[in-house]
Every structure is written in structure tokens, then in C-alpha cells.
């Protein structure tokens, strides 16, 4: 489980499912799929099912901050969008938070020309063959 943002409301991700923990008492999953979903028709006559279940869970958990109610409705089921919402919730409650940013490791290549002088201050002494 990866912690994406930690505060009064904390966001986790595990196997493409997000979880929200609020004040160490509620720990709820945000499921993208639901039996109660919105149906909208597209041009080909097929219906497209868009789940809004995670939005209901977010509305329940973050109900004590009225400033973000409209933002909850437009939040997408992505790490960036959910982390942004949880960040604004913590800011709304004036509570400290820690935002973690993970990126894939990347190799860095730099091209250039360099030159210089090899200088060493190391002096070699050989006391083994010294005559006294």
C-alpha cells in the first residue's frame, strides 16, 4: 500500500484501488465500480456506464468542508485528482499534511566535452629499504 498524501484525511493506493483514512477512525475504499451507475448514450447507440460510487464515499467522508463540495463532483478516479481533493480538504480544515510524490526512476544522460589535468597530492614513501 502506497501513501499518496498524509494528513487529517489520508489517501492510499493499492492495486489500482484508492483508500481514504480520516482521523485514524474511518478507513474506506474508493471503488470505481458500482451497481448504481450513471448511464449516458453515445452516438453509436451504445450506453456508457460511468461509476460515481467513489464520489458518494468522498462526499460522506469530506462533508465537514463545504468549500470543496463542488470539487468532489468533478474529481476523477486518478491519483492526481484524488490527491488534489484530499490536499484541499486538509487545507480547508487548516490541518498540516504531507504530500508524497513518486516518480519512476529515470536514467539521466548528459553530453559534453571535458578536459583537465590529473593531479594527485599523494606521495609514495618506501621506508622498507631505508639504511640507518
What the block records as the C-alpha cell of 60 is: 460522506
CA distances from 37 to 33, 82, 127 (A): 8, 19, 86
Q: DSSP per residue over 56-118, as a string?
A: HHHHHHTTT-GGGHHHHHT--SSHHHHHHHHHHHHHHTT---EE-------------------
Q: What is the pLDDT along the chain (132 residues), one digit of tens a residue?
A: 888 888 889 999 998 889 999 876 788 888 875 544 444 444 455 444 444 578 888 988 888 888 998 998 889 999 889 999 999 998 888 878 887 765 555 566 667 776 766 666 666 666 565 555
In this prediction the pTM is 0.62
What the block records as the C-alpha cell of 13 is: 493506493
State the Rg of the chain over Cα: 28
Q: Distance (Å, rounded) from C-alpha 100 to C-alpha 93?
A: 19
Amino acid at each position: 500500500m502506497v501513501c499518496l498524501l498524509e494528513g487529517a484525511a489520508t489517501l492510499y493506493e493499492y492495486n489500482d484501488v484508492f483508500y481514504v483514512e480520516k482521523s485514524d477512525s474511518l478507513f474506506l475504499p474508493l471503488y470505481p465500480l458500482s451497481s448504481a451507475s450513471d448511464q449516458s448514450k453515445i452516438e453509436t447507440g451504445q450506453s456508457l456506464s460511468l461509476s460515481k460510487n467513489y464520489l458518494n464515499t468522498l462526499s460522506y467522508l469530506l462533508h465537514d468542508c463545504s468549500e470543496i463540495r463542488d470539487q468532489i463532483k468533478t474529481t476523477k478516479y486518478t491519483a492526481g485528482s484524488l490527491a488534489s481533493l484530499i490536499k484541499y480538504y486538509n487545507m480547508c480544515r487548516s490541518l498540516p499534511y504531507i504530500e508524497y510524490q513518486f516518480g519512476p526512476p529515470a536514467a539521466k544522460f548528459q553530453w559534453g566535452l571535458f578536459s583537465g589535468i590529473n593531479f594527485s597530492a599523494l606521495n609514495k614513501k618506501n621506508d622498507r629499504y631505508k639504511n640507518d
